[in-house]
Structures are given as structure tokens and as C-alpha cells.
Structure 1
């Protein structure tokens, strides 16, 4: 059985800011009316209180009440917008997404697909894949031309056997003709597993990565 104090505390916890402000204003207005009535009852008939002062205070209360009602309407609108957004976010679940991260999830048989971007052509470009312990499990050469390229790791080790399921990270070493290192952008394709809506911004769990919605570069239907 829930006692009165616990129930009141629980209901206050789930009130919006506008609801709490409205409740507080109602209490303040009741106190104001009590004070006003008491002052009128005990005023000096020969020196009555200025009615303009009470009128101004009533106008102020009315203005605050209107502002609180506006805030409550905005909170309702924001809640409806959030519900609509949550419905659209649910459509991401179970699909593959391309996100700007070097690490991906290998399920033990299918490997990992990365996409990388060479801003300029490279003279030399090599791939290095490491497991979550930092050990190198695969090395190979990549496309050197400028532009966007895909790299599909089949999930196999150098001995031809499949690597254990887990998280793997791609590192790309690229150099130009003069031996200068080149920066290469890396993105990974992984499954959208869940969406965390507890914060002010939705956070997607994409493979081993946590990303925001604006970080999702591409969404795949299959």
C-alpha cells in the first residue's frame, strides 16, 4: 500500500515544469487573496489603502498565469514532437548504418565492411586490422586513387581461419610520393541495435559504437 506522502512525491516527480509552476502560482494567489482580505478588514477608514496597488498586483498575477499557460502549451507541443520523432527513429532499428568510426563488430563469419576516403591520390596505402587486445590480425594493400572506396574484410586471419567474434579496428597508413603521411577518413557499416532516448538527443547503438543521428552517413535497407 502506498501512503499519501509517497504518492504525492511520485506525482510531483512526473509533473512538467509548467504544471509545477501553475500549482505554485495557484498557492501564491491564494496567499495573496488572504493577505488582501486581511488588510482590507483592518485598514483605517480615514486612510484607506490605494486600490491601484492591488490592481497592479492582480495584473501581474494575470500576466504570469498567461505565461505559464503558454509554457504548458509549448511543453505539450514538444512532447507530441518527441513522440513523432520516436516513431521515425524506430524505423532505424535492425538496419545497417554507415557511421564515421574505425571500429566494427565481427560476428565470427561475415567480417566487416569499411568505407574510406582519400582526399588525394596515395603512392602507398595499407590496411591494418587489430582486435580488441591490440593484436594485428590482418594486413593488406588498399586502393590508392583519390575518392571514396570500400574495403570488405572477410573476417579471416592470415592463416585462413575465421577470427573470433568481437570488435575490430581498422587503421589505414597512406603516404604520397614524397613519403608524407596522408589523412584518410574511415567509416564502418554496422547494424543499428537500439536507440537511447533518455537524453536531450537520441543516441544510436550502431555495432560497438554510440553515435548521434546526424553522424549516420547512410542507412541501408538490407
Structure 2
């Protein structure tokens, strides 16, 4: 792993049950009893000269049965979704204290920042661009275009550390003096908290940054 500093710069919950809930079962039972009462009343008050066909009763029963099954299915799906959410939260909680790799800005507290970079394969020169929390470029450092893992020391050209705060990083690739491409440098940040926001899981990073668990590209032990 190469350490980068300005001296090398070219320029400056419990699981949900999967059975139908008592409330839902009671509601279905009540609805079915009401349906039977209505069906009985319909039979008693039908026109004897024009009685309802038995097939019509069968259709009504089949329709009610279909609706009943659909309600039960929806309840089971909802319960399963909640259970999977609890399982996901339980697993993600184990990430606390570990480092995750993502495109999120990293918090600099005086310690070097680990980065994962992918310069253009045809580049003969690459530069690490460092921006502060306001998006202002504060440093541009030349790196080996063949490197994939580097460390930003957080030092300026005079050897003094930058202020504590969140910094984002990008890689510029050049060939024969011409610009090729720019890509985000991935950062490693320690997870301090895992929080569930509705159906999503949010990770709180060292320094207060937040990312979705879906944005995590890899996980490793804190260094």
C-alpha cells in the first residue's frame, strides 16, 4: 500500500410471526358469518317463481373464498417481510466496529485515510484529488497509475495536517498529457451505529456520515 502526502504532489427487534394474526382471523370469521347470514336471507326471500340457480350460490361462495385466501396471503407476505427486515437488521448490527468500503466521504481525524482506487488501465499518469466538505479541491497528488490501494496522509505541502473533517476523493487519469477519465476513490470508514429507517438500514459512520447499507461494497475489520 502506498502512502500519499503532499510531498509527492505533482502540483498542490424480535422476529415477526408468519401466521395470520388473531385480529385478522377474527375479522375473517366475522365477515364469513355475515356472508352466510346474507346468503341465508337471500335464499329465504327469493322469488319462488324465479328461484336463484344453485350455480349462482356456488359462484358467490367461490368468490368469498378467493377473497378470504387473498387476505390471508397478504397477511403472510407482510409478516414474512417484517421477519426478513428483522433478520437483516440483526446481521447488519454486527457491522458496528468494522470498516465498510463505499463512495462516501471519509472523516479525517489526524490519522491516515485508506483508499481503494482504479485508475484508467491506459493511463500513464494519475492524480488523487482531495475535496473538503464544501466540495473545494484542497489537494492534488500524483500517484502510481498501477496502484489500487493507497493511503492519504492528510498532510499539506509543508507537512502540516489538514483540519479534522470529512473529505471526498477522486482519481484523474491522463495519457500523454491528455485527460482520460475521472472516477471516485472508494473510502474505508468505521461503522459506529446501524439504524433501521422504515424498510431501509442506515449506517452511521465515524464522524457522523450516513450511508445506506445497500451502498456498502465490502466489509473488513477495523485497522
- What's the TM-score once normalised by structure 2's chain length? 0.72
Matched, 1:91 2:104: no
CA contact (8 A) 1:98 1:216 kept: yes
Q: How big is the shift at 1:24?
A: 6.1
CA contact (8 A) 2:202 2:210 kept: no
1:104 to 103, 106, 113: 106
CA contact (8 A) 2:169 2:184 kept: no
Taking the aligned partners of 1:50 and 1:70, their CA distance within structure 2 comes to 31
CA contact (8 A) 1:22 1:68 kept: no
CA RMSD of aligned residues (A): 3.0
Taking the aligned partners of 1:184 and 1:173, their CA distance within structure 2 comes to 7
Matched, 1:54 2:53: no
Matched, 1:73 2:76: yes
> Residue by residue, what CA displacement relative to the aligned partner does 1:65-116 show, whole Å, maximum 9, x if unpaired?
2333233333333333322222111111121111134x21112x21422111
Q: How big is the shift at 1:134?
A: 3.9
Please state which structure has a larger fraction of its residues in helix.
1
State the partner residue of 1:216.
216
In structure 1, stretches of 5+ residues that fail to align are: 1-15
State the partner residue of 1:177.
176
> Residue by residue, what CA displacement relative to the aligned partner does 1:39-72 show, whole Å, maximum 9, x if unpaired?
3333344554433322321222123223332333
Q: How big is the shift at 1:190?
A: 0.8
Q: How big is the shift at 1:159?
A: 3.3
3-state SS of the aligned residue for 1:119?
A: coil
In the comparison of the two structures, how many residue pairs are matched?
A: 201
Matched, 1:40 2:39: no
State the partner residue of 1:114.
115
Taking the aligned partners of 2:74 and 2:140, their CA distance within structure 1 comes to 59
> Residue by residue, what CA displacement relative to the aligned partner does 1:17-36 show, whole Å, maximum 9, x if unpaired?
x7687666555434433333
Taking the aligned partners of 1:43 and 1:129, their CA distance within structure 2 comes to 83
Taking the aligned partners of 2:181 and 2:43, their CA distance within structure 1 comes to 83
CA contact (8 A) 1:22 1:65 kept: no
Taking the aligned partners of 1:35 and 1:106, their CA distance within structure 2 comes to 72
State the partner residue of 2:128.
127
State the partner residue of 1:152.
151
> Residue by residue, what CA displacement relative to the aligned partner does 1:157-191 show, whole Å, maximum 9, x if unpaired?
33333222211122333210252423445211111
CA distance 1:55–1:193, change in 2 (3 Å): same
- What's the TM-score once normalised by structure 1's chain length? 0.73
